[in-house]
Homo-oligomer: A and B are copies of this chain.
Amino acid sequence: MDDRYVAGGLISRCEHCAVRNGAVCGALKPDEIEHLNRIVRRRTVKPGETILSDEEPADFLANIVSGVIKLTKTLSDGRQQIVGLQFAPDFLGRAYGASHRYFAEAATEVELCCFPRAEFEKLLVIYPDLEHRLFERTLRELDAAREWMVLLGRKTAEEKVASFMVMLARRSAIIGCGGKDPQDVARFMMPLTRADIADCLGLTIETVSRQITRLKVQSVVRVLDSRSFLVPSMDRLCAAAGLDSTEI
């Protein structure tokens, strides 16, 4: 199997990941890559399919090669909250304690690079640096979760939707379509349905739709089609999101 896929984001010589994750993705030695190649298994998941459930223990962990995964929690009466989004080249799964406390569901078509749990835990012993990188990742996930708590608890519907767009633009934008400042113009795809956005933001689909319309009317974003957007000024979008320039 191609190193690029073994790589994903966590264990990686993959250029893409190295750029995105900087120091976390230290290069592995050839024999380590070789080792990984032997235990890894590729898998493709269709949109809407469940990848991990909170009921059955997960027997694998995975690098996300492409696509978007929703981590969801659902109350007994059906109210749902998305507690995390994972994009390539994120890492899916918990190293310790096999059981997940939430569902992982494919939001788009997803390609995974799976490590059987038992094998992966052996890796943790063999390559001590691996646990450290997992730890760094978990710290960043915690920061993101806490950032999101501010959004859920204290932002208005318009700020929530704008913040969501900022997050997406930053994570997946094709930046700088001709403008002199690369921050000036960002185009991005929306990998989620309105229902998913609502579950992310603690809103209803109608409110999400209305707020997108409002941002469109104010010319904060241009809606190319319901799944792709253009941001004329990142600063204005950030202002609508209630973020000052100092923030992430």
Complex Cα distance, B83 from A148, in Å, reads 9
Q: Which residue of chain B lies nearest to A159 when distances are taken between CB atoms in the complex?
A: B75
Complex Cα distance, B182 from A204, in Å, reads 40
A139 touches B94 (CB 8 A): yes
Q: Determine the chain B residues whose CB is within 8 A of the CB of A202 once the complex forms.
A: 152-154
Complex Cα distance, B15 from A73, in Å, reads 34
Which residues in chain A, 206-245, are within 8 Å of chain B measured between CB atoms? 242, 244
B83 touches A146 (CB 8 A): yes
Distance in Å: Cβ of A151 to nearest Cβ of chain B? 9
Complex Cα distance, B40 from A124, in Å, reads 31
Contact A75/B154 with A97-B139, A139-B96, A139-B97 known, Cβ cut-off 8 Å: yes
Contact A146/B76 with A131-B135, A139-B94, A139-B138 known, Cβ cut-off 8 Å: no
The reply to whether the CB of A79 lies closer than 8 angstroms to some CB of chain B is yes
Complex Cα distance, B131 from A95, in Å, reads 14
The reply to whether the CB of A157 lies closer than 8 angstroms to some CB of chain B is no
A101 touches B145 (CB 8 A): no
Chain A count of residues within 8 A CB distance of the other chain: 41
Distance in Å: Cβ of A128 to nearest Cβ of chain B? 7
Complex Cα distance, B80 from A71, in Å, reads 26
Of A136, A138, A150, most buried by chain B (CB within 10 Å of CB) is A150
Complex Cα distance, B128 from A148, in Å, reads 32
B76 touches A150 (CB 8 A): no
Complex Cα distance, B148 from A75, in Å, reads 12
Which residues in chain A, 92-122, are within 8 Å of chain B measured between CB atoms? 94-97, 101-102
Distance in Å: Cβ of A38 to nearest Cβ of chain B? 26
Complex Cα distance, B140 from A138, in Å, reads 10
Q: Determine the chain B residues whose CB is within 8 A of the CB of A143 once the complex forms.
A: 101
Q: Determine the chain B residues whose CB is within 8 A of the CB of A97 once the complex forms.
A: 139
Beyond contacts A79-B155, A101-B147, A153-B201: 4 other A-B pairs, Cβ-Cβ < 8 A, are: A71-B146, A73-B146, A75-B150, A153-B202
Task: Show 18 A/B contacts (Cβ-Cβ < 8 Å), sorted by A.
Answer: A73-B146, A73-B150, A75-B150, A75-B155, A75-B242, A76-B242, A81-B149, A81-B150, A94-B139, A96-B135, A128-B128, A131-B132, A131-B135, A142-B142, A142-B145, A145-B145, A152-B202, A153-B202
